[in-house]
Amino acid sequence: MAIFIASTKSISRGSGQSAVASMSYRAGIELEDKRYGKTHDYSKKHGVKSTDIILPSRLAAANAEISHSGL
């Protein structure tokens, strides 16, 4: 029997954290932070099993598609 685990963590820009850098690291992908003009590249990271985006029910019902870079 499979066990599903989901966790969340707050990202605080006031503490010097970047949501784009955090998403890039967790997903193991390359993302561009347009606000600061930086590119965060964690595409060589291993062990990422899944990078699903769970949408609110209203967006899911409208068949919306959002990519990591779109968030």
Q: Look at residue 7 in the predicted model and tell me its pLDDT.
A: 79
> Which tens digit of pLDDT belongs to each residue from 7-37?
788 888 888 888 889 889 988 999 999 888 9
Q: Which residues contact 64 (CB under 8 A, 6 or more apart)?
A: 55
Q: Look at residue 38 in the predicted model and tell me its pLDDT.
A: 93
Q: Look at residue 16 in the predicted model and tell me its pLDDT.
A: 81
CA neighbor of 47 nearest in space, from 22, 24, 27, 68: 27
Beta carbons of 42 and 30 less than 8 angstroms apart: yes
Q: State the pLDDT confidence band at 2, using cuts at 50, 70 and 90.
A: confident
Secondary structure (3-state) at 14? helix
